[in-house]
Amino acid sequence: MTFFAHFHWLWLGFLVVISLHASDAQWIDYPSEGIATLTHYTLPRGYVASCGCTPETTDYPTAALSQMAYGSSQSFGPACGKCFRLTLSNPLVSTPPFIPDTTPSVVVKITDLCPLSQDGWCSGTEQRTNSAGAQLNFDLAYPSIAIPDDFFPSNEALYGYKDFGVWNITYSVVPCLQTWNGRGNQKALGSVNALGPSGCCPADPSSPADTCPSFSDQNGIPPDTRVAAAMSLLTNSPSTPLLALILGSIYLSL
Ligand SMILES: *[C@@H]1O[C@H](CO)[C@@H](O)[C@H](O)[C@H]1NC(C)=O
Hey, which of 38, 92, 171 would you mutate to test ligand 1's pocket, going by the most ligand atoms within 8 Å of its Cβ?
Answer: 92
Q: Which residue puts its alpha carbon closest to atom 2 of ligand 1?
A: 168
205 and 242 both lie in a single domain: no
- What is the CA(163)–ligand 1 centre distance, in A? 18
Q: Are 175 and 184 in contact (CB under 8 A)?
A: no
Residue 220: what pLDDT? 53
Per-residue pLDDT tens digits of the chain, which is 254 residues long: 344 444 444 444 443 333 334 444 489 999 999 999 999 999 999 999 999 999 999 999 999 999 999 998 878 899 999 999 999 999 999 999 999 999 999 999 999 999 999 999 999 999 999 999 999 999 999 999 999 999 999 999 999 999 999 999 999 999 999 999 999 999 999 888 888 777 889 999 877 778 887 765 554 555 666 665 444 333 333 333 444 444 445 445 55
Sign of CA dihedral 128, 215, 211, 191: positive
Residue 193: what pLDDT? 82
Ligand 1 atom nearest to 133, measured from its CA: 4
194 and 237 both lie in a single domain: no
Ligand 1 atom nearest to 94, measured from its CA: 13
61 and 152 both lie in a single domain: yes
Q: How many beta carbons lie within 10 A of that of residue 234, not counting itself?
A: 13
- What is the CA(95)–ligand 1 centre distance, in A? 14
Amino acid letter, residue 135: Q
- What is the CA(112)–ligand 1 centre distance, in A? 25
Q: Which residue puts its alpha carbon closest to atom 11 of ligand 1?
A: 92
- What is the CA(223)–ligand 1 centre distance, in A? 39
**Nearest to residue 162, comparing CAs of 181, 175, 149?**
149
- Specify the number of domains making up the chain: 2
72 and 195 both lie in a single domain: yes
79 and 123 both lie in a single domain: yes
Q: Are 216 and 222 in contact (CB under 8 A)?
A: no
| Model-wide pTM > 0.85 | no
Residue 221: what pLDDT? 56
Q: How many beta carbons lie within 10 A of that of residue 240, not counting itself?
A: 14
Q: Are 38 and 114 in contact (CB under 8 A)?
A: no
136 and 20 both lie in a single domain: no
3-state secondary structure of 9: helix
42 and 65 both lie in a single domain: yes
Ligand 1 atom nearest to 97, measured from its CA: 13
Write the CB contacts of 67 (distance below 8 Å, at least 6 apart in sequence): 73, 77, 113, 114, 115, 116, 122
3-state secondary structure of 36: strand
- What is the CA(195)–ligand 1 centre distance, in A? 40
Residue 213: what pLDDT? 77
Residue 222: what pLDDT? 59
Ligand 1 atom nearest to 91, measured from its CA: 13
For residue 191, CA distances in Å to 42, 52, 81, 131, 238 come to 24, 12, 10, 37, 19
- Ligand 1 site residues (CB inside 6 A) read 35, 90, 92, 132-133, 168
Ligand 1 atom nearest to 90, measured from its CA: 14
113 and 68 both lie in a single domain: yes
192 and 208 both lie in a single domain: yes
14 and 53 both lie in a single domain: no
Domain of 201, CATH number, reads 2.40.40.10
88 and 19 both lie in a single domain: no
186 and 105 both lie in a single domain: yes
**Nearest to residue 114, comparing CAs of 56, 189, 39?**
39
Give the residue numbers spanning the domain of 5.
1-24+228-254
**Nearest to residue 39, comparing CAs of 143, 152, 151, 137?**
137
- What is the CA(168)–ligand 1 centre distance, in A? 6
- What is the CA(135)–ligand 1 centre distance, in A? 13
In DSSP terms, 86 is beta-bridged to 106, 171
